[in-house]
Amino acid sequence: MMRRGEVLPEVNVAYEAWGNLSETHDNAVLVFTGLSPSAHACSSSEDPAPGWWEYMIGPGKPIDTNRFYVVCVNSLGSCFGSTSANSINPKTGKQYCSEFPELTIEDIAKAGHHAMQELDIEHLCAVIGASMGGMSSLAYALQYPDEVDHVVTISAACRSLPLAIAMRSLQREIVRCDPDWKNGCYEPDEEPKNGMVLARKLGLVSYRAAEEWNERFNRARIDPSRRSKDKFGIEFEVESYLDYNAHKFVENFDANSYLYLSRAMDLFDVAEHGGSVNAGLAKVHAKKTLVVGVDTDILFPIQQQEEIYNGIKNAGRNVEFERIASTKGHDAFLIDEELFSPIVRKFFAEIK
């Protein structure tokens, strides 16, 4: 049963795991991803390709797989192996497309919980996530308060503010306005790529801070040999960066998954778990919570991480807050290893 009342008769959750589960099954760490990553958070002997959080997870790393059994799940609704709009509806024998149930962050957390049960893990040592993954981690702690000892939420929020909602709403509208979207029933080789490219470019702008754009690109222009004859074609390096990275993303990510996961972030509201944000946060029973924010994040401003910290603190729970000064904005947790590693390493090292 989904949070909004609809039913998924069959659910698959793709995951990757590193380390060894202890005999008492008390060393499991669950990792939730942001909107776009797969479950491949770090490399392994089975898949040596670097993961999206390579510096954070592994032997001797901040989340030390010599100590912890680390499981990263691909979010419900994503296109990297978990049940999504591209999956076959067993009732019709066809893809769900836009008939896929309305998705929420709570559903993503619930799918992660089911995955843990399938792995015979009844109690988590810790749950961690950044961005949408931070929301999912918070939702996990709200729905299963007595089944997790430690919570780490990075660059996340209790609920999205109007700017973030407006940005994602516009991204979804751009995709849906692409004629190739076809109400979500497009063929695999006929995806709405033009809409997705534009939507992703808009998203990329919100993931970084203005200061970094200025420092990195200023008004640098591309080499004349790369310019087209189009009067409105790419002229500046920042345009080239957005174009390259948007096309790269679109080649690997599904449009319907983009829509559903984006909408789930807008719908999430801790206040729905108690009548107010503070009442909801009071339901987090973890032994200790770590809240991390970045001072230049425009998507989830630092005040939103302070709100999580203050709500849990006011409930009398053990919670730490770390404010990171970085020019990298929302995406800093993927880039600024030297700033994030010591904080996460210290937190996990203190877990007994």
Q: Average pLDDT for residues 320-335, to the nearest whole number?
A: 97
Which entry of 257, 266, 330, 331 is annotated as an active-site residue? 330
Query: For residues 19 and 68, is the Cβ–Cβ distance under 8 A?
Result: yes
Q: How far is CA 236 from CA 169, 205, 219, 228, in A?
A: 27, 15, 7, 12
Model confidence at 80, pLDDT cuts 50, 70, 90, reads very high
Listed in order, strand segments (DSSP E) in the chain are: 15-18, 28-32, 57-58, 63-64, 69-73, 88-89, 94-95, 124-130, 148-154, 288-294, 319-324
Q: Average pLDDT for residues 91-96, to the nearest whole number?
A: 94
Percentage of the chain exceeding pLDDT 90: 95
Q: Average pLDDT for residues 247-251, to the nearest whole number?
A: 96
pTM of the model: 0.96
Model confidence at 264, pLDDT cuts 50, 70, 90, reads very high
Is the pLDDT reported for residue 162 higher than 90? yes
Query: For residues 284 and 141, is the Cβ–Cβ distance under 8 A?
Result: yes
Which entry of 131, 136, 206, 326 is annotated as an active-site residue? 131
| Predicted local confidence at residue 309, as pLDDT | 98
Q: Average pLDDT for residues 116-135, to the nearest whole number?
A: 98
Burial class of residue 110, CB neighbours in 10 A (0-12, 13-18, 19+): buried
First to last CA, the chain: 36
Domain ranges of the chain: 15-160+270-349, 164-259
Q: Average pLDDT for residues 285-299, to the nearest whole number?
A: 97
Is the pLDDT reported for residue 322 higher than 90? yes
Identify whether 297 is a catalytic site residue. Answer: yes
- DSSP assignment string, 269-321: BGGGGTSSHHHHHTT---SEEEEEEETT-SSS-HHHHHHHHHHHHHTT--EEE
In this structure, whether the domain defined by 164-259 belongs to CATH 1.20.1070.10 is answered with no
C-alpha span between 93 and 56 (Å, rounded): 41
Is the pLDDT reported for residue 174 higher than 90? yes
| Predicted local confidence at residue 163, as pLDDT | 96
Which entry of 107, 178, 266, 297 is annotated as an active-site residue? 297
pLDDT tens-digit profile of 185-235?
Answer: 998 889 999 999 999 999 999 999 989 999 999 999 999 888 888 889 999
Question: Structure tokens of 188?
Answer: 């695999």
Fold entry, domain 15-160+270-349: Rossmann fold (3.40.50)
Query: For residues 29 and 128, is the Cβ–Cβ distance under 8 A?
Result: yes
In 3D space, the residue among 23, 25, 42 whose CA is nearest the CA of residue 118 turns out to be: 25
Which amino acid is located at 303 in the chain?
A: Q
Identify whether 206 is a catalytic site residue. Answer: no
Model confidence at 101, pLDDT cuts 50, 70, 90, reads very high
Q: Average pLDDT for residues 127-131, to the nearest whole number?
A: 98
pLDDT tens-digit profile of 16-73?
Answer: 999 999 999 999 999 999 999 999 999 999 999 999 999 999 999 999 999 999 999 9
Helix %, strand %, coil % for the chain, to 5? 40, 15, 45
Q: How far is CA 54 from CA 21, 39, 61, in A?
A: 20, 12, 9
